[in-house]
Amino acid sequence: MQLLLRRCVELGARLADAGEFTKRAFLNDKIDLAQAEAVADLIEASTVAAARSAVRSLVGEFSALVHGLEVQLIELRMLVEACLDFPEEEVDFLAEAGALDRLGDIGLTLEALDLRSRRGSVLRNGLHVVLVGRPNVGKSSLLNCLAGEDLSIVTDVPGTTRDAVRQNLEVQGVPLHVVDTAGLRETEDPVERLGIERTWTEIGKCDLVVYLVDAALGVGIDEEPILARLPTAAPRLTVHNKADLTGCPGAMESKADGVHVWVSAKTGAGMDTFRAELLRIAGVSVGQEDGFLARERHLVALKSAREHAAQAVSLSGHLELFAEELRLAHRALGSITGEYSADDLLGDIFSRFCIGK
């Protein structure tokens, strides 16, 4: 095959660039930009749920919803232009057509589409989870229980985990990037202190902090300095481990600082409750597979469209400004499917493809 390929090149053929075939399909209007990105997403899908979401985008389900919103915005823009072009007419085109009600419906549809896209984004990127707590509360045991194998060393000696242990897991089709970290405490050991510094670095960039405590002790005074330092931007799930010693594994309670669950990493009791809570925080329900494998630019565009649609409602008394906000909302949606795309954006997207895809 290599000899054949080399000879083809000698006779004038060339190797395909990354993403060239998909790019040609896009440029020849066979697929739109969201469908082109779905090709790469399908190839890179790490779970069955992610692959199914990518297929939904690839066959055009996501694009069809976006296009439907564009059509509705175009109709509203036509009404506004009619009002601007014929100001002497006594007929209020906007009121007659129920423009504000229609714009409200567009806003609700955008909100629902944004929610589905965010669920799909979690399937694509996964949830970055950091296991945090004082030494010997069972962080490594919890990671091993989640993974179903011994990934972290577990001993009765406090401070066994010195460096972050990373593992990619899957819970009901949702990828989890779980990091087991060094126990947080005051120490003179320079190696352990370095591990604790890395723990705080991981906490600063995570999507979810799973804070472990001993179920027999609960959240005590010693925990307060640690809890006060945890970032408020990331949600927190408090796990009371070793609940088999207290007799209440599987319990769950909502408190002012978030949800608390009681588990036993040793016996596995309460782990189903813990997994279900992880999925809830990720925004995915068990058996729910209606999301689209959205990229960050899709989420940004949907947010922009929602903001401009909302701004248009507040400016309905000023037709020129109202028309401009509708135009910007339409443009934001058009960027998703490639109707409005800069050449450098296209180059960046297709350069990430496999060779020839």
Picking from 143, 204, 174, the residue whose alpha carbon sits closest to that of residue 286 is 174
Domain ranges of the chain: 14-123+295-350, 127-282
**Rounded distance between C-alpha atoms, residue 335 and residue 330, angstroms:** 9
Ramachandran sector of residue 10 (left: φ over 0; alpha: ψ -120 to 50; beta: rest): alpha
Model pLDDT for residues 273-307, shown as the tens digit of each residue: 988 888 888 777 655 566 788 888 999 999 999 99
DSSP-based three-state secondary structure for 236: strand
**8 Å CB contact between 318 and 280:** no
pLDDT at 4: 94
**Rounded distance between C-alpha atoms, residue 173 and residue 215, angstroms:** 29
pLDDT at 357: 59
Q: What predicted TM-score, i.e. pTM, was given to this entire model?
A: 0.67
Distance of CA 85 to the CA centre of its chain: 44
**Rounded distance between C-alpha atoms, residue 77 and residue 334, angstroms:** 15
Q: What is the fold of 127-282?
A: Rossmann fold (3.40.50)
Question: Mind giving me the DSSP string for 166-222?
Answer: EEEEEETTEEEEEEE-PPP-----HHHHHHHHHHHHHHHT-SEEEEEEETTT-S-GG
Question: Which residues in the chain show pLDDT less than 70?
Answer: 86-94, 150-163, 285-290, 340-357
- Which pair of structure tokens corresponds to residue 256? 């002012």
**8 Å CB contact between 355 and 37:** no
Other beta carbons less than 10 A from residue 294's beta carbon: 29
Residue found by looking up tokens 């996501």 in the block? 62
Question: In the CATH scheme, what architecture does the domain 14-123+295-350 have?
Answer: Up-down Bundle (1.20)
Q: Same fold for the domain at 14-123+295-350 and the one at 127-282? A: no
